[in-house]
Chains A and B, each alone.
Chain A
Amino acid sequence: MADHIGRLSPEAERLGRLTLRQNRIRTRHYAIRPDGSSDWTVARLAARAVDDVLGGAELDAADVGFLATATTQNDTMVPGLASGVHAEAGLPPMEIASLQSVCASAMMALKTAWLQVAAGEHRAALAVGAEFSSRYFRPGFYQDTATLREDGTLPGDAEFLRWTLSDGAAAVLVEDRPARRGPSLRIDWISLRSFADRFTPCMTGGAVRTEDGGIKPWSLHDGIGEAARAGAFQLRQDVDALYRMLPVWMGEFMRLVDEGKIDPGAVDWFLCHFSAHSLREEMVRLATRAGCMIPEERWFTNLYDKGNVGAASLFLLIDDLMKSDRLRPGQRVLCAVPESGQCVMAYAAMTVVEG
């Protein structure tokens, strides 16, 4: 991994190994070569995922009227990612939406695609998530900035993400009917809630933290050079705040249990996007106490071999589950996507149906 994101210092790599021990990620994918060059962009990664989905679909590409994209950081600040993916995928004119957040942007894209089809606007819609974070974890993005210390290490909130995030893309096709052959997932409901009313930004990119706990956007620095030197273009994660959000994410789960939307005992597959193994253990402890623990043998994860792929993670999980050959009609699937950016929690419930 260190070859691909580049080596800052032996001490930084020691911290990296420590992070990997905590999150238990063993293997992952990067879209960058050890020399820093790449043939990929976020748009290209997403377009390849769209190609894959359409390649296995029962309808023609021309029947898809809507494309929703999800990512943490697009290739460009302008225009939006959906335009880039539309162009790269070579699809005919269509309606698009670019959803930008962190991991939960995947759920925003899925919900938008689902509602578009449910409202009868389109017969079929694509939702795609893509990330290419390794490119800005390279040493050149830290050198000559205030973030890199003299001993070649980064503060924990910058180093943590270098070893947490991976590159990749995945897509799903939302249709108004199940596939004629093989299992499909019927979306029963999607619930997404922001708690930004009570949290300051916890994961940031494009800004620096100020003394009074606020953030200063890159655009409010005196110039681009100064913003870069201040470390405004780095991705940072306040790990302590992550632990403060955990009960809020769990509280959303308890709300859905109390409102009768989730029956923990009736969930056959729990697709939970979590960024680190240590967070998973904390969640298990909380859930057990409140009588809403989904037995661990029903958890489905690919974190340990694919890493945390941010906005692509939800679709990678769904894709791996669909390909696992373990789905049976009537089984209930629950997806959970917490987002640490400024605290979002999203859940989606689906049922396995046979065409």
Chain B
Amino acid sequence: MTGDSAIEATHRGLARVWIDFESALSQVPVIARLLSGRLRPEDYRRLLLNLRQQVVEGSRWIIRAASNLGPAHEELRSLFVLHAAAEHRDYRMLEDNYVAAGGVREDILSARKNIGSEALSAFMYQAASKADPVGLLGAMFIIEGLGNRLARSWGEAVRAQLSLGEEAVSFLLYHGENDGDHLDMFDRALALAVRGPAESEDIVRHARIVARLYRLQLEELDNV
């Protein structure tokens, strides 16, 4: 398999993981409610409160992964660092949204991770701690994909169903806005990382694991 065909195989593998992930998400109770127009204000607050505990870790595991990318992956390391820097305070927007949607700031700051977030976070730090963790691009594909492909339509649906203002849904809306840039950057990272079938399989496998754990996190809202 040549480098180019390995990159294409990675795109195919990731696309298939994504398709399964996206369609399985529609069966998760809170998302099913959202998609059928039955979301309640307390559902949205629970979603934000649970998401925040994982989002707060995001840039930290990316930085750990960057520190484990050796000399052979210098360029990729710089992309990881840039990405982490760009997003490392995103969780604050999420906290503000929670308060604007009627929540108490102290609650979202002090909540524990649900058991799905624990599993997701533990896997991320474990994977990021390995040498040259290029497989984590698969994890980023899933988490970024949620922002790029789903967050905006979710945000709009939340706003419409709960009659909330921009200040209560900006985290979801904002993530949907940068999709073009992020996808280009992801394509560049993939081209840097994939040199043959080994990296390709590793990336797709990480995506599969993270897709399942992310869904677990949404299934286990408030189960701490």
Instruction: Give A contacts to B, CB under 8 Å.
Output: 195, 198-199, 211-213, 247-248, 250-251, 254-255, 257-258, 286, 289-292
Known: A198-B23, A258-B9, A291-B9. A251 touches B38 (CB 8 A): no
B binding-site residues for A, Cβ under 8 Å: 4-5, 7-9, 11-13, 15-16, 18-20, 22-24, 26-27, 35-38
Q: Give bound CA distance, A205 to B144, whole Å.
A: 38
Residues of B within 8 A of A257 (CB): 12
Secondary structure dominating the interface of B: helix
| Most chain B CB neighbours (cut-off 10 Å) among A257, A258, A289 | A289
6 nearest A-B pairs in the assembled complex, by CB-CB distance: A291-B8, A213-B36, A198-B23, A251-B19, A254-B12, A290-B11
Alpha-carbon distance between A254 and B10 when the two chains are bound, in angstroms: 11
CB distance from A176 to the nearest CB of B (A): 36
Give CA–CA (A258, B9) in the complex, Å.
8
Q: Which residues of B contact A289 (CB under 8 A)?
A: 11
Does the CB pair B11–A247 fall under 8 Å? no
> Is B37 in contact with A251, judged by CB distance below 8 angstroms?
no
Contacts of B18 in A (CB 8 A): 247
The smallest C-beta distance from B33 to any residue of chain A, in angstroms, reads 10
CB-based contact A292/B8 at 8 Å:
yes
Q: Which residue of A lies closest to B4 (CB)?
A: A291
Residues of A within 8 A of B15 (CB): 247, 250-251, 254, 286, 290
Q: A198-B24, A198-B26, A213-B36 are in contact. Are A248 and B11 (CB under 8 A)?
A: no
Residues of A within 8 A of B26 (CB): 198-199
* A255 near B9: Cβ-Cβ < 8 Å: no
Chain B residues with Cβ under 8 A from A250's Cβ?
A: 15, 19
CB B176 to nearest CB in A, in angstroms, measures: 16
Interfacial chain B residues near A195, Cβ < 8 Å: 23
Chain A min CB distance to B97 (Å): 25
Question: What would 4 more interface pairs be, CB under 8 Å, given A247-B18, A255-B16?
Answer: A198-B27, A258-B13, A289-B11, A291-B9
Q: Which residues of A contact B9 (CB under 8 A)?
A: 258, 291
A-B contact pairs, 28 of them (CB 8 A): A198-B23, A198-B24, A198-B26, A211-B37, A212-B36, A213-B35, A213-B36, A213-B38, A247-B19, A250-B15, A251-B15, A251-B16, A251-B20, A254-B12, A254-B15, A254-B16, A255-B16, A258-B16, A286-B15, A289-B11, A290-B8, A290-B11, A290-B15, A291-B4, A291-B7, A291-B8, A291-B11, A292-B8
A355 to B169, CA, bound (A): 66
Which residues from B are CB-within-8-Å of A212? 36, 38
**Chain A proximity of B139: nearest CB distance (Å):** 20
CB distance from B149 to the nearest CB of A (A): 9
Residue from A198, A213, A248, A291 in contact with B12 in the complex, judged by beta carbons closer than 8 Å = A291
Residues in A whose Cβ lies below 8 Å from that of B27: 198
Q: How far is the CA of A92 from the CA of B152 in the complex (A)?
A: 60
Q: Are A199 and B12 in contact (CB under 8 A)?
A: no
**Measured between alpha carbons, how far is A254 from B13 in the docked complex, in Å?**
8
Query: In the bound complex, do residue A248 and residue B8 qualify as a contact, i.e. CB atoms below 8 Å apart?
Result: no
Given A213-B35, A213-B37, residue A247 in contact with residue B22 (CB < 8 A):
yes
Measured CB to CB, the closest approach of chain A to B156, in angstroms, equals 12
**Min CB gap A250→B, angstroms:** 7
Chain B residues, CB < 8 A from A255 = 16
